[in-house]
Amino acid sequence: MAKASVLIVEDDRSIADVISYNLRQQGYEVFLASDGEDGIAQAKHRRPDVVILDLMLPVIDGLDVCRSLKADKETRKIRILMLTAKSEESDQLIGFSLGADDYVTKPFSVKVLLQRVKSLCRRDQPDSDDGVIRAHGVVIDPVRFKVTVDDTPLQLTRSEFRLLETLAGSPGRVFVRSELLDAVLGDGTVVMERTVDVHIRAIRRKLDEKAHLVETVRGVGYRFCETAS
């Protein structure tokens, strides 16, 4: 099995070296870029599994790098983990809206960063090859339009089914409301984003004791729990 690859786009060489060293110790193939322009070029050329992306970059800033990679059909599936300062909360929200998959705030724990990278790499590995999503006792079968929780059938509306399928299909990933609306109703549909909140409340009510699996990320959106409680 090929090693997972990570592109670090960070202009602070000391930070880049620390991250690079620890990733290589864990068996990852690592590439480095010190500015946004080089980061975009390397991402297109090397197609890494994950890009660790600093926001404050020379030439092209991190948000524009994220926007560029997610807009390009050849790189949009690359997982992006943003490195942000705690004071840049608004940038975190913008990053998620542009398609970033996760973020870590500076100063950060190397162990936490490694775990986040591992998680992002694991998301592209399906639990099965039959299209069925299985997580924490919840089984979602898109072909049969069927959901069970601990072998008990769950009655969901079409919108609720699509929402749960989208969230559970990428556990740990934060989805902003607009992304969930697109998943449920189609891109370009004009609907109040708070409609998603109504559907989420209904899903949680039906999940009952498993309601905690659908997590709220305050000020951002929702995600499906990645690890069992």
**178 pLDDT exceeds 70?**
yes
**222 pLDDT exceeds 60?**
yes
C-beta atoms surrounding 122 within 10 Å: 12
Out of 13-22, 28-37, 41-50, 215-224, which region has the weakest mean confidence (pLDDT)?
215-224
Q: What is the CATH number of domain 5-122?
A: 3.40.50.2300
**45 pLDDT exceeds 90?**
yes
Q: Give the model's confidence band at 140: pLDDT under 50 very low, under 70 low, under 90 confident, else very high.
A: very high
**188 pLDDT exceeds 60?**
no
pLDDT confidence of residue 102? 84
131 and 206 in contact (C-beta within 8 Å)? no
Range 133-224 has CATH code 1.10.10.10: yes
pLDDT confidence of residue 87? 56
Taking phi over 0 as left and psi of -120 to 50 as alpha, with beta for the rest, 158 belongs to alpha
Tokens representing 207 are 């999940």
C-beta atoms surrounding 5 within 10 Å: 18
**121 pLDDT exceeds 60?**
yes
CA 172, CA 123: separation in Å to the nearest integer?
8
Taking phi over 0 as left and psi of -120 to 50 as alpha, with beta for the rest, 131 belongs to left
DSSP at 147: E
Average pLDDT, the chain: 85
Sequence ranges of the domains in the chain: 5-122, 133-224
Q: Is the pTM of this model over 0.75?
A: no
Q: Which residue has the higher pLDDT, 203 or 158?
A: 203
57 and 84 in contact (C-beta within 8 Å)? no
CA 211, CA 130: separation in Å to the nearest integer?
25
pLDDT confidence of residue 16? 96
Considering only CA atoms, which of 129, 11, 3 is closest in space to residue 62? 11
Most confident residue range from 43-52, 135-144, 174-183: 43-52
pLDDT digits (tens, 9 = 90+) for 154-176: 999 988 998 998 899 888 888 88
Residues 183, 189, 194: CA angle, nearest 5 degrees: 75
| Whole-angstrom Cα Rg for the chain | 18
**20 pLDDT exceeds 60?**
yes
pLDDT confidence of residue 1? 41
